[in-house]
Structure 1
Amino acid sequence: MKRTIRLSLIAAAVAALATPVVAQNAGQIASVQAGRSCAGCNLFQGDFSGLEARGLNLSGSRLRQSDLSLSVMNRTRFSNADLRDVEAYGGVFSSSNFSGANMTNASFVGAYLEGANFLGATLSGTNLSGAQLARATGLTQRQLDQACGDGSTVLPGRLRIPAC
């Protein structure tokens, strides 16, 4: 009896490992690429480079390892989104909402983030070199101490950022 139970557990484990993991939702990615909102969507490793779509709602979406380079996504809601390891080189995200977003190890090099909200966002390892954040809100010194930038990073008030 114990042997049968053990074999059943092993068989179940092997079956679980053999089942493909859905890493992304191609239909949801295509929807955002067409300029539609998709709150709570699985956009893992999506290619949104060069996308021009303003005012999208991507709150709570999984954008981990996505490419947002050179995109224009003003007034987009990224609140509570998974933006870990995102590449957003030269993107324009003015007045976008990143509150509560996990931006760990993301690259926003040369990004335009004027008026963006970062209240409660995780910026651990985030590269903000050359980013424009002079009118960003919700940024704290504690958040920025976990990120990095360079001499051309523009920050609000007296905030500073460690060099990359």
Structure 2
Amino acid sequence: MKLRNLAIAALIPLTALTAPLAAAGDLAENAQATRTERDADPQRRLVIGGECASCDFSGSNLAGAHLYRGNFANADFSGAQLLGARFANMRLDGADFADASMREVRLSNVTMNGASLVDANMTDMRAHQVMLQGANASDVQMNGASLVQVSLQGANLRDADFSAATIRSGDMRGASLQDARLTNVVMQHIIMHQANLRGAAMEGAFLDHVDLTGATLRGANLTGARFRAVNLTGVDLSRTLGLTAQLLEKACGDETTRLPEDMNITLAACDNEIPGARPVDERAFIAEAEARRLAQLEAAQEAFADALASVQSRAMASGGLEREAMETAREALREAARAQAELARARAHSGWQFDMRRSELGEPMQFWLDGATPPQPPTPPARADRPDRR
């Protein structure tokens, strides 16, 4: 297990603004203790960040944890308890989340290409700007989930449950949704070229600006479904269930679109690309993640400045600072300087602004700062305990 520059901070209680950095040996020992003891009590508001490629969190209780801005590629979270956990600005490519309990998990600016989500419970998940290209998510539970700006290109979603889920602005080209449950799903602005929807349960589904060019829908059940601006070019619908003329009124196709023999209708031609149904641009992911990072740096800088001002004012009131408080102040100052330098470098390479909506943040750093209290200077010892400085 690799543990490089890994920061872990429990935020209840939090008496300093900066997270303590544990030595790699200590972290390895703590990780081993976690795996052996498997504490049944959730470690609420635990913050984990840094470099932890191939780390072993299998079976761990990380409910409510915040995992922020780190490289956890190929990490093992199989069977882990991640109820309500938050992942932000992270690389989780190749990570293993098989059988993990991830109800109400929050993902923001995360890459999970090639990850395993087999049998994971992600009910009511919220995902924003997540890359899951080539992921293996067969039998995953995403019912009630909300996915915005996601890439599931080439992903294995066989037997997945997307019941009552919402998927907006996504790339699902070549994804396998065979026998998946898509009842009452809402899909808007999705490109699904060559997607496999064979045998999918799509009763009550609403497809809005979805490009199904070359997709397979043999045996899919579209009873009660609704279409709006759906591209059916090259799609074989001859053995699709629940297909009606009313459903196809707002769909388009061409001579390669196959309809049931008893359905004598002509689909509108798809002259132009469906507006908004384009592949997700990974460069846009990176640009928006960078803008979000800059905003976080600015917030962190302001928080550090406030903390330093508080330490200084308390120092003047108490007549001086002891060594521990001075070290806290110095570390805060160094962190603020690093943030300022990184912010200046980033601004030199960008000439645009990004309006960050707090409702989409979900980033641990914001919760970290919100829940923090300024460092408290230690109470001066009684005069009798002071060393003789004469």
Q: Normalising TM by the smaller chain, what interval?
A: 0.7 to 0.9
| Residue deviations 1:121-144 (CA, integer Å, cap 9, x gap) | 111210011012211011100111
2:246 is aligned to 142
Per-residue deviation at 1:49? 0.7
Contact in 1 for aligned 2:238/2:259 (Cα 8 Å) = yes
2:152 is aligned to 48
Of 84, 89, 108, 2:212 maps to: 108
1:26 aligns with 2:132: no
Equivalent residue runs for 1:80-95 within 5 Å: 80-95=184-199
State the structure with bigger RCO (CA 8 A, min sep 6), 1 or 2: 1
1:69 is aligned to 173
| Residue deviations 1:16-71 (CA, integer Å, cap 9, x gap) | xxxxxxxx9427457x8441221010112221110123111101111122211111
Identity fraction in percent: 27
Query: 1:83 corresponds to which letter in structure 2?
Result: M
Once residues 56 and 129 of structure 1 are traced to their aligned partners in structure 2, the CA distance between those partners, rounded to angstroms, is 25
Per-residue deviation at 1:158? 2.8
Once residues 26 and 155 of structure 1 are traced to their aligned partners in structure 2, the CA distance between those partners, rounded to angstroms, is 40
1:162 aligns with 2:268: yes
Secondary structure, in 3 states, of the residue corresponding to 1:85? strand
Runs of 4+ displaced beyond 6 Å? none
Query: 2:187 corresponds to which letter in structure 1?
Result: L
Structure 1 pair 25/85, CA: closer, same or farther in 2 (3 Å)? farther
If the length of structure 1 is used for normalisation, what is the TM-score? 0.78
Contact in 2 for aligned 1:25/1:42 (Cα 8 Å) = no
Secondary structure, in 3 states, of the residue corresponding to 1:99? coil
Which runs of 5 or more structure 1 residues have no equivalent in the other structure?
A: 1-23
Contact in 2 for aligned 1:144/1:162 (Cα 8 Å) = no
Secondary structure, in 3 states, of the residue corresponding to 2:248? helix
Secondary structure, in 3 states, of the residue corresponding to 1:63? strand
Of 139, 159, 164, 1:60 maps to: 164
Secondary structure, in 3 states, of the residue corresponding to 1:145? helix
Contact in 1 for aligned 2:136/2:156 (Cα 8 Å) = no
The size of the alignment, in residue pairs, is 140
- Over aligned residue pairs, what C-alpha RMSD do you find? 2.0
Secondary structure, in 3 states, of the residue corresponding to 1:144? helix
Query: 1:163 corresponds to which letter in structure 2?
Result: A
Query: 1:79 corresponds to which letter in structure 2?
Result: T
Once residues 102 and 116 of structure 1 are traced to their aligned partners in structure 2, the CA distance between those partners, rounded to angstroms, is 14
Query: 2:199 corresponds to which letter in structure 1?
Result: S
1:120 is aligned to 224
2:235 is aligned to 131
2:255 is aligned to 151
Contact in 2 for aligned 1:25/1:43 (Cα 8 Å) = no
Per-residue deviation at 1:157? 2.8
Query: 1:92 corresponds to which letter in structure 2?
Result: N
Once residues 226 and 155 of structure 2 are traced to their aligned partners in structure 1, the CA distance between those partners, rounded to angstroms, is 24
Secondary structure, in 3 states, of the residue corresponding to 1:83? strand
